[in-house]
Amino acid sequence: MPRANTTPIQIHLPPGVATNLVVAVVVFGMAATAVVLGTALYGPEEKSERAFRLMNWLKKTPEPDKPQSSPQARSRTRPAARGESVRAATLRT
């Protein structure tokens, strides 16, 4: 069987460039993960919910179904004031 006369391509980079690039990519990934986790745990209610949904999307798991509230549960909670989150309205009671 004939052999191809090929030579591998060599890329000559200055020392440390490839290492620095790997470090930059890893640091960026860790920073993005820290921002999403921090938002999910300590952010406002709406952004926290979005961050948790983003984590489920990145894990490629289906989004959980919204729980169906009963008519009795809806009548016991007071409506939220304008600009107030639903969670704050339920904690107020």
Q: pLDDT band at 24, cuts 50/70/90? A: very high
Query: Does residue 1 form part of some domain?
Result: no
Query: Does residue 38 form part of some domain?
Result: yes
Q: What is the pLDDT of residues 38-92, one digit of tens each?
A: 999 999 999 999 998 888 888 887 766 777 666 555 555 555 556 556 666 566 5
Threshold 0.85, pTM exceeds: no
pLDDT value, residue 42: 93
Query: Does residue 71 form part of some domain?
Result: yes
pLDDT value, residue 6: 72
Report d(CA 81, CA 89) in Å as an integer: 7
Q: How far is CA 30 from CA 19, 42, 56, in A?
A: 17, 18, 18
pLDDT value, residue 88: 61
Q: Contact at 8 Å (CB) between 46 and 87?
A: no
Q: What is the mean pLDDT of residues 25-48?
A: 94
Count up the domains in the chain and report the number: 1
- Domain with 61, as residue range(s), is 17-92
Query: Does residue 43 form part of some domain?
Result: yes
Query: Does residue 87 form part of some domain?
Result: yes
